[in-house]
């Protein structure tokens, strides 16, 4: 933990990007395993180079989707979370007490959350095969309100917990972890419904 915190202090954005990639990657195989889905067929592409590796990846539920999710965590989710948290904490520099907490909570839910939810839904639409801007927009519009309701139910507790127990420098990592847990849970629920 100390080494991670040092890396976070030395290279905050890169550390958060790697963390976001790892957590986003792990969501897919973990939710598939927890949903007790059978292992998919080994990848034909990987099998050409290493049948053993293809079989291992299939048993671990590692799929192209998991790799795409890692890219999402590295390139989109973590940098966006880093800069949104930075914006929120800077907006309340010098403000203390209840006023700061309420302001951060409001800014998080009314500004940061809609941006993050829209980016998440657009990214998931692309990962699931949407190719045109109209398809991506339709996916965002169809899931936005439901995702915002869920965010508004969970975000206040996560923000209040972060305010109470963590310095602002690690808030983005905390929110990544909370999103990892929620994403894994919803992944299990969705995969069980589809099975």
Average pLDDT over the chain, rounded to an integer:
92
Write the pLDDT tens digit of every residue in 107-133: 999 999 999 999 999 999 999 999 999
pLDDT value, residue 66? 93
* Ordered alpha helix ranges (H), 35-168: 44-49, 51-59, 64-72, 78-91, 97-107, 113-127, 133-165
Percent share of the chain, pLDDT over 90: 71
Contact 116, 82 (CB under 8 A): no
* Per-residue pLDDT at 129: 94
Domain ranges of the chain: 2-194
Residues 6+ apart with CB under 8 A from 113: 148, 151, 152, 155
pLDDT at res. 168: 83
pTM of the model: 0.86
d(CA 184, CA 9): 28
Overall residue count recorded for the chain in this entry: 195
d(CA 36, CA 189): 11
């Amino acid at each position: 933990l100390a080494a991670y915190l040092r890396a976070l202090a030395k290279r905050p954005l890169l550390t958060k990007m790697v963390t976001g990639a790892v957590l986003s990657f792990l969501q897919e195989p973990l939710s598939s395993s927890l949903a007790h889905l059978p292992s998919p067929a080994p990848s034909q592409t990987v099998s050409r180079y290493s049948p053993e590796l293809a079989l291992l990846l299939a048993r671990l539920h590692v799929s192209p989707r998991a790799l795409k999710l890692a890219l999402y965590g590295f390139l989109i989710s973590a940098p966006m979370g880093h800069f949104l948290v930075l914006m929120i904490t800077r907006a309340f520099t010098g403000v203390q007490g209840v006023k700061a907490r309420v302001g951060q909570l409001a800014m998080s839910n009314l500004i940061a959350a809609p941006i993050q939810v829209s980016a998440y839904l657009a990214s998931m639409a692309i990962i699931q095969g949407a190719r045109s801007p109209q398809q991506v927009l339709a996916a965002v519009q169809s899931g936005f309100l439901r995702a915002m309701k869920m965010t508004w139910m969970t975000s206040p507790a996560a923000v209040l917990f972060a305010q109470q127990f963590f310095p602002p420098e690690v808030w983005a990592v905390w929110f990544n972890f909370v999103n990892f847990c929620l994403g894994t849970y919803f992944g299990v629920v969705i995969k069980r419904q589809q099975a």
